[in-house]
Amino acid sequence: MKSINSIDLKIAVSHIKQVCDDCREANERLPFFFLVGAGISHPPIPLAAEIEENCMAVAHNYGRGSEPVDKRPIDTYSHWFEQAHPQPAQRQKYLRKLIEGKFISHANFRLAHLLLDKTIANLVVTPNFDDFLSRALTLFGKPHIVCDHPKTVERIDVERDDLQIVHVHGTYWFYDCCNLNGEIEERAQDSEVAAFTMASLLKEILSYRSPLVIGYSGWEGDVVMTALKRRLQSRLPYNLYWFCYRRNTVEALPEWLKFHPDVYFVLPPVESSPKAVFKKSSEERRGQDQKTLRLEAEFKGFLDKESREPVLSSREVLDELIRTFELKAPKLTKEPLEFFAEHLRLALPHEDIEKSERDTYLINSVIARIDRANMREKETVQKIENQLEKVRDALRRSQYREAIQQAASVSIYDLSENQRREFLNTIWDAADALDDNSADELSDYELVIALGGSLSKQKSDDNTQIMIAKSFIRKGYILGTLNKNKEAIAAYDEVVKLFGESREPTLRVQVAKAMMNKGWKLFITVERIDEAFKTFDEVINQFGKATEPALQEEAAKALSFIVSLFIHSAKEALINSDDKSAQKYFKEAKKKINNSPIAKLNSPRVRIMQGYIEFLLGNRDKARAILTKASKTNDSEIRESQLTIMDMKPLPQDKEFRELLRSISPAKES
């Protein structure tokens, strides 16, 4: 039986580091290039699934709602994009609106950082339409060559040492960029007329280099996958490393790719995210009774997805590469005044140029002012600024634990208001990226809370309040992993106390999440089950009528959790051949749904529960009709989380229900 090569992130990066070390020692060229997809430009740019949903809505608004014939992700995306924007110029304008003026993503900054000294590679290939990477390199003062059209392919010389970026489908600047299926497949073909094409360029690149694939979903038929398929007809001198956002990413990839002996898939960890309540060491678990552990195992699918599903983001991959290769912070961030002075000097004429051509805008005087400011800053830098810079420097180098440990030595009351505000954002980023449930992460969230509370009202905006609320929630997660349930519940209560009356939508979502996690913690501590149900009911009643989808989702999650308990009891009764009790529990579950304010919403969580109840009651046609409504959301993640109920007291008919749900609701790749 064939099997894929799968490894974890640290092992993969150690492989890459060893190869690069060997090549440098032998004075050989580096054998890798970066192949990056939409994942490195998210969240400023929406992913394909979000774009598809938006285009579907536009198409329906104009009466163009015909369904695609082919259900492959590339075909459904292309279909709805063309239905919504049938003119090439319209498509280009739509993409420009999505991209222009957006901030550069963290992952693109990280990739630019890796490219500065050409540590791993000097070439990037991407199907992305945005110019984030080019903008990041420009900010860092690094010249580079861009190829964004087949007619500019000749600009790329794979033997050159310059930094080079190849946009295989073009960029948002031009209306002839490739975004539809036919256009993408055409770009993948060789030409009988043109000597150089994207296909021929990729063939040349792949002849001796292997890609490091990050944030790319691998749509068959595009120029990249076509070139890879051709190259993988034979062995590679160096492994191809494909970094997967989710563990099931590999399932959607073609067999010629996933079973190739030289292709390695770098997967997220098997266990839940480090923030999950369930990630405990054996020592920590000894203090828990078996009933609590069983409840955790059976109902963990109903926790917030942040604490449930293991993923491997583009930023995490690039952070690990930066850490392992021990890169220094970019000069722009470490010595900004000196950086700008040097940048301006490069723009001035040399001494041997004719006087009439020299320094028309008196830039030398600007440089002199920058130099004086730089000197004054160095003369007046105090101890506190040096401490802050150590924290910043560690963050830039992706050394998050070091940043947190350095932050612990800073006295927040010695900081000015502006320094506190900047410091708050810095330490939040460090804890958010560390994400390992450690004492360091916990102490950093406590520092965020203290620092946020010390800001004056003028400096404490909604974003600050959101960071404080999230810090309390994540503090609760970590305390839960340590079996400190009372402290965890207190942290969740603090969110409700501080922000329960807020009308700001994002803060309301944090309140709902805190209440959900409080209810969960009350439930698994067993002796406070009645309080848990009361808390879940509060979430349903308080947020079930909200207009914001995120709040509706939290209310639906609370309802589906309560209903799942009735279903759990009903299944247990069926296993024990107690049909009367099973019918009673099913009746209570249906009543709970019908009396809820969420009943009128097309919530996939609730619809799947309803469909499952009808299915187990033998009403197959009714179940199918209900599940068909749930399928319209295209949210495979929610569907999969709801299927975890089948792991609770499994029945023989559960397999058939899974097949029914998946046949109605095929999962989509982003």
Q: What are the boundaries of each domain within the chain?
A: 5-267, 339-460, 556-670
Report how far residue 176's alpha carbon sits from residue 91's, in angstroms, rounded to the nearest whole number.
9
The residue among 416, 417, 425, 434 whose CA lies nearest residue 468 is: 425
Low-confidence ranges of the chain (pLDDT < 70): 1, 174-196, 271-309, 349-360, 378-382, 457-460, 526-527, 630-648, 665-670
pLDDT at 379: 64
H or E segment to which residue 34 belongs: strand 32-36
Q: Which amino acid is at 247?
A: R
pLDDT at 513: 94
pLDDT at 599: 82
For residue 635, what is the DSSP state?
Answer: -
- Scored b (16 or more CB within 10 A) or e, 588-601 reads bbbebbeebbbeeb
Query: What is the pTM assigned to this prediction?
Result: 0.72
pLDDT at 283: 40
pLDDT at 581: 93
Decide: 94 and 45 in contact? Cβ < 8 Å: no
The predicted-structure confidence for 533-577, as pLDDT tens digits, reads as follows 899 999 999 999 898 988 998 999 899 888 888 888 899 899 999
Query: Dihedrals φ, ψ of 491, to 5°?
Result: -65, -45
pLDDT at 295: 55
Q: Which amino acid is at 201?
A: L
pLDDT at 380: 55
For residue 195, what is the DSSP state?
Answer: S
Distance set, CA 365 to CA 261, 344, 346, 370, 377 (Å): 61, 11, 14, 9, 18
Report how far residue 375's alpha carbon sits from residue 335's, in angstroms, rounded to the nearest whole number.
12
The residue among 425, 419, 422, 387 whose CA lies nearest residue 406 is: 387
Report how far residue 453's alpha carbon sits from residue 242's, in angstroms, rounded to the nearest whole number.
43
The CB-based long-range contact list for 258-264 (8 Å cut-off, 24+ gap) reads: 258/4, 259/2, 259/3, 259/4, 260/232, 261/5, 261/235, 262/210, 262/232, 262/235, 262/236, 262/238, 263/4, 263/5, 263/232, 263/239, 264/5, 264/6, 264/7, 264/12, 264/15, 264/239, 264/240
- What 3-state class would DSSP assign to 68? coil
Q: Which amino acid is at 556?
A: A
Report how far residue 520's alpha carbon sits from residue 560's, in angstroms, rounded to the nearest whole number.
13
- Around 308, how many Cα atoms within 13 Å sit in the side-chain half-sphere? 17
Report how far residue 310's alpha carbon sits from residue 39's, in angstroms, rounded to the nearest whole number.
16
* End-to-end C-alpha distance for the chain, whole angstroms: 29
Decide: 35 and 125 in contact? Cβ < 8 Å: yes
